[in-house]
Structure 1
Amino acid sequence: MMKLSSKHSALLILALLIAITPFFFPSSYYFRVGSLIFVNGIAVTGIVILTGYAGQISLGHAGFAGIGAYACALAPVHLGLHPAFALVLGAGVSAVMAYLVGRPILRLKGYYLGVASLGFGILVSMVLANERQLTGGPDGIQVPDLGLRGLLKGWGLDLNNSEFWYMLSGLALLLGAWLALNLYNSPTGRALRALHGSEIAARTVGVDVARLKLQAFVISAVYASVSGSLLALQNKFITPDVAGFMHSIEMVTMAVLGGVGSVLGAIFGAAILTMLPQLLTVFAEYEMLLMGLVMMLVMIFMRDGLLPSILRLMRGKDT
């Protein structure tokens, strides 16, 4: 009997969870929450590549999410593109911006890199908020409908809006996770992990450190852009908050909470942090306090993240 590799096992687990979970949803509202988890999961998978694989820190990745979101809002109106092609355009623009911005700032290290990337995110957010005639300013802007539900209905698959976005964002997450897991054991992925361990040692054995850092930054920017585009298309409305500082912090927190060195762990963190506000609404004004307490406890007692720590405890009990 063929043994599944860890990559295939992770993808199988993720696919089963996406497929089986809807059978336990009591209402269509949970499809909405699920699709938000998948959209956030795409963004944090990019953070895993940048931080978990390459060991680089970015506090401004929401800027790329903003570029992707507003590409889907503006390109159909001003360029006549279908929203799906606008998503691709947004990813391309984000990749170019990440390349141009990454070349100078990736020469920095540690918190200097984090602050420089934060500056980029704030700059994008300010442009989106101030260019009222183009972006609608702080009030936001409408996003055209993707128009795929009608096509699926013609094929005999009649889904409501929440079910459609659950399915589409789930498939997008599976594709993103597959690409990230393939990268992990590729020559580039091994070089990125060597870079994470020690830049000096990686450079000594012939790794082009500057090029790899830039590659990881560009790839993670594309993930963030696709996440922003899917969020905009799903909500059919977008505001500059998608590129705001707090969204960048949410991305990093989700990845670190679940386990930034693991694709499944980061997606697990995205699920926890997306669902937690829904679960804590019964505590009203104490909601933010309890969220902060949960995150502090995880960081103190489960430093590798929730999922890796839980799996390690389970293996310990088995032995």
Structure 2
Amino acid sequence: MKSLNQRYAGLLVLAVILALLPVVLTNPFYIDVAIRIALNAVVVIALNLLMGYTGQISLGHAGFYGMGAYASAALTTHMNWPPILALVVGAAATGVLAFVVARPILKLKGHTLAMATLGLGIIISIAINNESQWTGGPDGIGVPAFTLFDFTIEGEKAWYAVSAALLLLMTWFALNLIDSPVGRALQAIHGSEVASRVAGVDTAKFKARVFVLSAVVASIAGSISAHYIGFITPGMAGFFHSIELVTMVVVGGMASVFGSIIGAALLTVLPQLLQTFEGWEVVVFGVILMVTMIFMPKGLVPSIAQRLRSRKPKEV
């Protein structure tokens, strides 16, 4: 119960911070960075449910992100679909693909699972590059504004409200999922698949479900990001973006919802600071990942929390 109260206290703190940020950040550039952090955090929280809580590696999640973004771009641009319908169809198509590949891929373990998910991401990226009549190919494609009925989302403040609401909703959902029987089953699978099966957990089913969930969330975030940015290129579905997402999970903290948000914040701001060192971003991300795994293998938030708990005086 104490842990549950702490988690929802964290949700309240997050809500307060998100409410105060537009007041503190008066520069449109900082609001833009905050929006990107929120959208990245949504994807990273879902990916952490797969990696941190269930113990399944994915190096291809940028492909799902790109599927959502390009579904919204292509359907609204070439077929004049309403943005909300394009978003839903893109998420549904992503979910179907994830469901089809989930069981065979998730039978693998360790580096073979990582290579399989990497291959899936590469296939999606190649398809986006090659289908130039729909996607614009390597040159990219413009994305219309997001309209719902007669209302158009425009301006940094409006987009910030959307991204902040989406982040709060995803955080609340993840916290509830973790404390549910489903969440306990996922954590049991991470601990030991054999023991989970002996205890009656259908490990294949639960792994497939969380894989599909994380893919659909990535697709939705990709669609929202595409409408916000207004122009997308195949790089958002590429290998480096997948590595960025995994690094955010690892640095922030495996099996930590709030660690996902911290990881997303740190590694979304970092490229802005490295703009003068163009071409070295990959090296820096690799160094950060390596240092984190050596000195804080559980990630920033769990490691700091563990050290704080160890410093508390023991009750006599």
TM-score, reference length from structure 1? 0.91
Structure 2: distance between partners of 1:137 and 1:284 = 24
1:211 aligns with 2:201: no
Cα distance between partner residues in 2 of 1:168 and 1:271 = 17
TM-superposed CA distance for 1:211, in Å, is 0.6
Aligned-CA RMSD value: 2.3
The CA deviation at 1:286 is 6.9
Q: Is the 8 A contact 1:48 1:263 kept in 2?
A: yes
**Residue in structure 1 matched with residue 249 of structure 2 by the alignment:** 255
Q: Which residue in 1 is equivalent to 2:127?
A: 127
Residues 76, 86 of structure 1: 8 Å contact kept? yes
Stretches of structure 2 that go unaligned for 5 or more consecutive residues are none
Identify the residue that residue 20 of structure 1 maps to in structure 2.
Answer: 20
Residue identity matched to 1:8 = Y
Equivalent position SS for 2:185: helix
Q: Give the aligned length.
A: 312
Q: Distance in 1 between matches of 2:276 and 2:232?
A: 28
Deviation at 1:313, TM superposition (A): 2.8
Could you list the per-position Cα deviations for residues 20-62 of structure 1 after superposition, in whole angstroms to 9, with x for gaps in the alignment?
1222224111010000001110110111111111110111111
Identify the residue that residue 6 of structure 1 maps to in structure 2.
6
User: Which amino acid counterpart does residue 114 of structure 1 have in structure 2?
Assistant: A
For residues 21 and 312 of structure 2, what CA distance do their matches in structure 1 show? 27
**Cα distance change, pair 251–318 in 1 and its aligned pair in 2 (3 A):** same
209-218 or 15-24, which moves further after superposition?
Answer: 15-24
Query: For residues 154 and 117 of structure 2, what CA distance do their matches in structure 1 show?
Result: 39
Q: Tell me if the contact between 1:149 and 1:164 (Cα under 8 Å) persists in the aligned partners.
A: no
Residues 22, 157 of structure 2: 8 Å contact kept: no
Task: Name the aligned partner's letter for residue 13 of structure 2.
Answer: I
Deviations 1:182-230 (A, max 9, x none): 1101111111110110000000010001111100100110111112111
- Rounded Cα–Cα distance in structure 2 between residues aligned with 1:101 and 1:4: 34
Match of 1:228 in 2: 222
Stretches of structure 1 that go unaligned for 5 or more consecutive residues are 153-158
Contact 1:59/1:117 (CA < 8 Å) preserved in 2?
A: yes
In structure 1, C-alpha distance between the alignment counterparts of 2:3 and 2:207, rounded to whole Å: 34
Alignment of 1:61-76 (within 5 A): 61-76=61-76
1:4–1:217 Cα change, 3 Å? closer
Matched, 1:89 2:86: no
Distance 1:31 1:247 in 2: 22
Which of 249, 258, 271 is the aligned partner of 1:277?
271
Report what 2:235 is aligned to. 241
How much has 1:6 moved relative to structure 2?
A: 3.0
The alpha-carbon distance between structure 1 residues 210 and 267, as it changes in their structure 2 partners (threshold 3 A), is: same
Where does residue 184 of structure 1 map in the other structure?
Answer: 178
Whole-Å separation in 2 of the counterparts to 1:151 and 1:26: 24
**Percent of aligned pairs sharing the same letter:** 49
Structure 1 residues 7 and 85, CA gap change in structure 2 (3 angstroms): farther
Match of 1:161 among 138, 155, 163: 155
1:264 is matched with 258
TM-aligned CA deviation for residue 315 of structure 1 = 3.4
Instruction: Kindly state the Cα deviation for residue 106 of structure 1 after the two structures are TM-superposed.
Output: 1.2
| SS of residue matched to 1:5 | helix
Structure 2 residue 310 is matched with structure 1 residue 306: no
Q: Which amino acid aligns with 1:56?
A: Q
On the 8 A contact 1:71/1:229 being kept in 2, the answer is: yes
Greater alpha carbon shift after TM alignment, 75-84 vs 102-111: 75-84
Question: How big is the shift at 1:68?
Answer: 0.3
Give the deviation of 1:149 after TM superposition. 11
SS of the residue 1:214 aligns to: helix
1:116 counterpart SS class? helix
Q: Is the 1:72–1:144 Cα contact (8 Å) retained in structure 2?
A: no
Aligned-partner Cα distance in 2 for 1:228–1:72: 9
Cα distance in structure 1, aligned partners of 2:125 and 2:3: 48
Letter in 1 for 2:161: M
Q: Which residue type is aligned with residue 230 of structure 2?
A: K
* CA deviations over 1:148-183 (Å, ceiling 9, x no partner): 69737xxxxxx9612221111111111111111111
CA distance in 1, matches of 2:3, 2:187: 25
Q: Which amino acid in structure 1 is aligned with residue 214 of structure 2?
A: S
| Matched-pair contact (CA < 8 Å) for 1:90–1:225 | yes
If the length of structure 2 is used for normalisation, what is the TM-score?
0.92
Deviation readout 1:240-275 (Å, 9 max, x if unpaired): 111101111111100110002111101110000011
